[in-house]
Amino acid sequence: MLAEHRVRYAIVGGVGARLQGTPYVTGDLDIVPDPEPENLARLAAALSGTATLKKAANSTEYLPHPEVQPAEFYAEYFAMYRTRYGAIDVLIELPGVGPFDAIMRNARRYDITGFGLSIYVASLEDIIRSKETAGRSKDLAALPALYEAANHLARHPDDYALSADALDVHTPPHGSDEQ
């Protein structure tokens, strides 16, 4: 969906950590988009649809939201959506790291074989920094696995390529000892 709309973004959070070897499983995709107005317009178009729901501010309830506007991405700390493709959270900047440009300085590019698609993922160090900065209990609980994955990745660099099943929650993460 994001590739079809030519959205520039970096994957952060749990999916970014999983792609780099943590056993972390999450139910949503966290991204930080390039804040250029044209890019945010493409992101809003990609998220818009009859099945789109948006989490109401200060609530756990998701409400119908078929037309996403670019200004929404700045209105809250992060905007949370459920689309026909799954849940996605949009952050304008990663806590402790900064906006898109700051993330891209250390981001890792992964080429997804079989799809001709490249994705950018915040470095594990930046994901760790964001979790430490956020300080939420779920973030702090994830830190030991993130530290372990960072140490493993430092000793055994990967080839920056992913197969199509890289995000299958039933498959051990790339580089983990569970393989």
Going residue by residue through the chain, which has 179 residues, state the pLDDT in tens, using 9 for 90 and above. 999 999 999 999 999 999 888 887 788 999 999 999 999 999 999 999 999 999 988 888 999 999 999 999 998 888 999 999 999 999 999 999 999 999 999 999 988 877 888 899 999 999 999 999 998 998 999 999 999 989 988 888 765 555 555 545 455 554 444 44
Instruction: Determine, yes or no, domain membership for 14.
Output: yes
Cα 162 to Cα 42, 45, 74, 107, 108: the distances in Å are 25, 27, 32, 15, 12
Tell me, what CATH number does 99's domain have?
Answer: 3.30.460
Instruction: Determine, yes or no, domain membership for 121.
Output: yes
Instruction: Determine, yes or no, domain membership for 62.
Output: yes
The number of folded domains in the chain is 1
Instruction: Determine, yes or no, domain membership for 60.
Output: yes
Instruction: Determine, yes or no, domain membership for 1.
Output: no
pTM of the entire structure?
A: 0.86
